[in-house]
Amino acid sequence: MGLFSRRKKKVSQAEVSPEPVAQEADAAPLAKTVGPFDISQVEGDEPLVDFGPIKLPYVQGMQINPLPHQNQLIGLRVILNNAAFELGVFAAPRSGGAWAASAPAMLEGFAQMGWKAQKVSLPEGDAVLATPPEGEEQLPSLTVGVEGPRWLLRVCYLGSAATDEAARRSLDSVLHGIVIDRGSEAKAPGDRLLLTLPAELVEQIAEQNEPEQ
């Protein structure tokens, strides 16, 4: 199972209201919950920062750094309130269990790099905490998994957000508004879903690269 529950969402990603929603007499009550959400669970026209498979809510003060690799966009680093996490999304089987299956490989990978890595239990579920060798300048990380319909979102908290719950919670306004659009393309479980730059950002880059008249 993923680490965060997701049910039908009728309100905007950043909107939280304690007031009950009026329902038709024969309608089921709407569930109040938080994201990340699958695209099929979102209704309404709330604006999102669209990176293709990953769509982020607009949060004041948020900084987004795309993570390229070999001319492909493989993830995002989000910074807010002096805390940061990285996001990457992968194809997963319909049957679920992708996070539980991938965690052992993560632990082994960190061990091969000389890091101290262990599985830890959070209120939301299991996570992988990794600490670099003493004297290295790299940041500790805490990786959690969120599963949806045929996708797995890895959320890797960095630095203080990996070791301090208050710093981690300061990123919830972003995390709880994320929408994942896996698409219908056939992918093998574990394949990374490549991201795309938002159209407005592409336009800005093009304008900056235009020669001056």
Range of the domain at 191: 37-196
> Quick check: is 3 in a domain?
no
Q: Say how far apart CA 145 and CA 89 lie, in whole Å.
A: 10
With H, G, I as helix, E, B as strand and everything else as coil, classify residue 73. strand
Domain assignment present for residue 109? The answer is: yes
pTM: 0.80
**How much is the average pLDDT of 196-205?**
79
What pLDDT does 105 receive?
A: 93
Q: What pLDDT is attached to residue 207?
A: 66
Domain count, the chain: 1
The structure tokens listed for 96 are: 């679920």
**Is residue 170 in a domain?**
yes
Report the share of the chain in percent with pLDDT over 90.
Answer: 69
Residue 72 lies in a domain: yes
CATH number of domain containing 71: 3.40.1000
- Looking at the domain assignment, is residue 118 inside a domain? yes
pLDDT classification of 149: cutoffs 50, 70, 90: very high
pLDDT of 162 reads 96
Would you say 181 and 52 are in contact if contact means Cβ atoms under 8 Å apart? yes
Residue 206 lies in a domain: no
Tokens of 176: 């709880």
pLDDT tens sequence across 82-113 = 999 999 999 999 999 999 999 999 999 999 99
Do the domain assignments include residue 83?
yes
On whether residue 205 sits in a domain, the answer given is no
Q: How far apart are CA 9 and CA 53, in angstroms?
A: 18
Alpha-carbon gap, residue 80 to 63, rounded angstroms: 6
Task: Encode pLDDT of 131-147 as tens digits.
Answer: 999 888 899 999 999 99
Q: Looking at 2-11, 137-146, 183-192, which range is the least confident one?
A: 2-11
